Structure 1
Amino acid sequence: MSSSDGAGGTDGADCMRGGRPTAVTAPGEPSAETIRTGGEAVFSALAERYRHELRVHIYRMLGSFTDAEDLVQETLLKAWRRRETFEGRSTFRAWLYRIATNTALDFLAGPARTREIALAVDSAGSPAAAPLAEVTWLQPYPDELLDLAAPGHGEPHTVAIARETVELAFLAAIQHLPPRQRAVLILRDIAGWPAQETADALDLSLPSVKSALQRARTTLRDHLPERRADWGAATEPSAAERAVLQRYLAASRDADLSALALLLREDVRQAMPPHHLLFDGRAAVLDLWRPVLAGDEPWGEWRSVAHAVNRQPAAVSYLRRPGETVFTAINADVLRIEDGLIAEITTFDPELLPGLALTLAE
């Protein structure tokens, strides 16, 4: 069966293999009858409370904020059109997640976007393995929007979005997984679904789910930073990371390459999605920055503003060129910091900054 039904069951139904489902309504959970017959206003009110967390779920599947924004709307429209298939065996939330997951899988299987991962090249033109430079469609997700996915309904699932599930290194790594392996990993290891529920949602056998999860975990380890397991489940940058960010902002503001050099690990890397280009090592990163900050003809007046993106410290750089009256966003640098030094910089162009203001007043 194709996943095009959007819910991993017959025409979207949350039905059980080999038996008739029994509707069970948990405390605070809308009844199946309410979902099916309550009308558009009632359904919309119930579904909208999950919009933000569904968007984060789809974002993990796709790595693209703008695509996730489009597909969460498609998910809710599909759910409304298929509301009569909801039988109440699963929770309404789980039913929506099924539809969202299969909508993402359909998107990944379709012609909407060619997503080919290829080796990047470093500044010397040599091949370089670097997930962040290989995933050209990767986009950042501002923390203030991540926070909307856990608005505090008092329900068990409304927990803060942890860094380890949305950091850029993780997002880039899971894009290397085949789509169904990716879906299994996200549902099992992040959403915490039981194996059988995952199998039902994806129309897979239980052994297939277990095998896919094992393969996904093995591949993931090959693409994640070595010390990623040490980062924990932080939901915001630490005080030490914010201190490094402030020094980074000052170095950019003051065009101080010496100060910048002191913040960088010797093996620091800078990637710039969507370009398959990697600046590998402190010298290469400083060579990239030198003409911008210390060139013979300065570009204009720079300002950098602290942000938090994907639960990581970030700096959005603005430039006011000669003769202009406003500062316009030039890029956003998202930092990965280890032992007080910057280990990785991921730089995004302005058009890849959803949810961030693109101009800065005087």
Structure 2
Amino acid sequence: MELARTDLIPRAQAGDGEAFRTLTEPHRRELQAHCYRMLGSLQDAEDALQDTLLSAWQGIAGFQERASIRTWLYRIATTRCLNARRAAGRRLAKEWDIPTVEPPEPTRLGEVVWLEPYPDAVLVGAVDLPPGPEARYEQTEAISLAFVTALQVLPARQLAVLILRDVLGFHAKEVADMLDATVESVKSALKRARRSLQDRHPLTGDREPPPASGSPAEEAVVAEFVRAYQSADLDALVALLTDDVFMSMPPMPFEYEGRDAVAGFCALILGSGRAFELVPTRANGQPAFGAYVRGQGGVSHATGLFVLTLSGDRIRAMTRFEKDVFPWFGLPRSLPSR
């Protein structure tokens, strides 16, 4: 089997497209997750992945096997992502778009308005691989919304170094080769990135870890959230929140921090007279829900996607995304009201 796989490289270098696909397909999902961590956007990650595969196909003839195919692909993908971060055209902040409702004063305006959720269905094969020997983060933790958001504020080279070293576990020499840098500069960049990540992470601190995915403990919190939200029970919803709960809603920049601030926003939504239905899904390894507003004629219409970050039996963050992301999760634009 290993001999046959080794034979794929000269075949691909001779122009065999099928051999190239066989070489690269096992790495596709993890490369997309890498691009997502670098860019914070699923759409941008998919664009960077396609650019990576096209560049790899165009450059396979010059591949000299000084590193593995996987390492070579990561080098290309990282370069494409660094180029994307330097390029103009990041999505701009969106204005509040509910004309009949005035939002409460936000705690602050967020920087990472281009953040998008990552469907768990796409994560299969991307985060269940064993990390390299230098990794410091669990793969599931390193795809969480809080972590990906925190990454986005790092300078581009520091971001690349931190992901390659602390998330993927490549050795310093491998990372230096990928970035055409020295080992010393990689170590220096990693030190600065770790310090900045600690300083800027909005959800750092000593907290209870989230319950295991699909566990009875997680299901209990999720069920209570659904019940409170669908019945517009503000007191029950607020009782689920941690004292320092954080809420954001990219691409709108409004951010609310603390139970009182988030409760004020939830009171505005739940007290608007609209009735909601929630359809469960998962994003970034976290519970998520497609939210629908019940309308006339027995039809509920998509309004947004909520992703919950849990801490023990409480909610420590809620992130609300636009309904444009529904197709990524297999969620319909409308559904019959129950």
User: Normalised by the shorter chain, which TM-score bucket?
Assistant: 0.7 to 0.9
Aligned equivalent of 1:276: 253
Matches of 2:10 and 2:233, distance apart in 1:
64
After superposition, the Cα gap between the structure-2 partners of 1:81 and 1:313, relative to the gap in structure 1 and judged at 3 Å, is same
Contact kept? 1:29, 1:91, Cα under 8 Å: no
The answer for the alignment partner of 2:184 in structure 1 is: 207
Alignment counterpart, residue 317 of structure 1, candidates 274, 277, 291: 291
Q: Does 1:92 align with 2:69?
A: yes
- How many residues in Structure 1 have an aligned counterpart in Structure 2? 320
Residue type of the alignment partner of 2:13: R
Asked if the contact 2:38–2:81 (Cα under 8 Å) also holds between the matched residues in 1, the reply is: yes
Residues in 2 aligned to 1:229 and 1:185: alpha-carbon distance in whole angstroms: 23
Q: Is the 8 A contact 1:164 1:231 kept in 2?
A: no
Alpha-carbon distance, 1:337 to partner: 1.8
Q: In 1, Cα distance between the equivalents of 2:159 and 2:46?
A: 19
* 1:189 paired residue number: 166
What percentage of aligned pairs have identical amino acids? 38
Give the distance between the partners of 2:205 and 2:176, measured in 1 at CA.
31
Identify which range, 222-231 or 85-94, moves more after superposition: 222-231
Counterparts of 1:117-132 in structure 2 under 5 Å? 123-124=104-105, 128=108
The answer to whether the 8 A contact 1:264-1:341 is kept is yes
Listed as ranges, the gaps of 5+ residues in structure 1 are: 1-24, 117-121
Mapped partners of 2:70, 2:192: distance in 1: 28
**Which amino acid in the other structure matches residue 89 of structure 2?**
A
2:12 alignment counterpart: 35
The alpha-carbon deviation at position 346 of structure 1 amounts to 1.0
Residues 306 and 320 of structure 2 are in contact (CA less than 8 Å); yes or no, is this contact kept in structure 1? yes
Task: Supply the distance in 1 between the matched residues of 2:75 and 2:209 (Cα, whole angstroms).
Answer: 30
Shift in CA distance, 229/176, structure 1 to aligned 2, threshold 3 Å:
farther
Partner of 2:96: none
One-letter amino acid matched to 2:280: A
Contact preservation (8 Å) 2:27, 2:70 = yes
Q: Is residue 144 from structure 1 mapped to residue 121 from structure 2 by the alignment?
A: yes
> 1:26 & 1:115 partners in 2: Cα distance?
48
Report the 3-state secondary structure (helix = DSSP H, G, I; strand = E; otherwise coil) of the residue aligned with 1:336. strand
Deviations 1:276-295 (A, max 9, x none): 21223223223222243233
Kept after mapping to 1: 8 A contact 2:221/2:314: yes
SS of the counterpart of 1:335? strand
Equivalent positions of 1:1-362 (< 5 A) are 29-31=5-7, 32-37=9-14, 39-113=16-90, 123-124=104-105, 128=108, 133-149=110-126, 162-224=139-201, 225-227=203-205, 231=209, 236=213, 238-295=215-272, 298-299=273-274, 301-323=275-297, 325-353=298-326, 355-356=328-329, 357-362=331-336
- 1:251/1:68 Cα in 2 relative to 1: closer, same or farther (>3 Å)? same
Q: By how many angstroms is 1:252 displaced?
A: 1.2
Q: TM-score, normalization: structure 1?
A: 0.80
From the superposition, tell whether residues 136 and 44 of structure 1 become closer, same or farther in structure 2 (CA, over 3 Å).
Answer: same
Counterparts of 2:114 and 2:239 in 1: how far apart (Å)?
Answer: 31
CA distance in structure 1 between the aligned counterparts of 2:239 and 2:152, rounded to whole angstroms: 33
Cα distance in 2 for residues equivalent to 1:260 and 1:78: 49
Deviation for aligned residue 1:66: 0.7
**CA separation of 1:181 and 1:115: change in aligned 2, threshold 3 A:** farther
Distance 1:77 1:237, change over 3 A: same
Alpha carbon RMSD of aligned pairs, Å? Answer: 2.9
Q: In structure 1, what residue type is equivalent to 2:294?
A: R
Runs of 4+ in 1 over 6 A off after TM superposition: 25-28
SS, match of residue 244 in structure 2: strand
**CA spacing shift, 1:289–1:34, aligned 2, 3 Å:** same
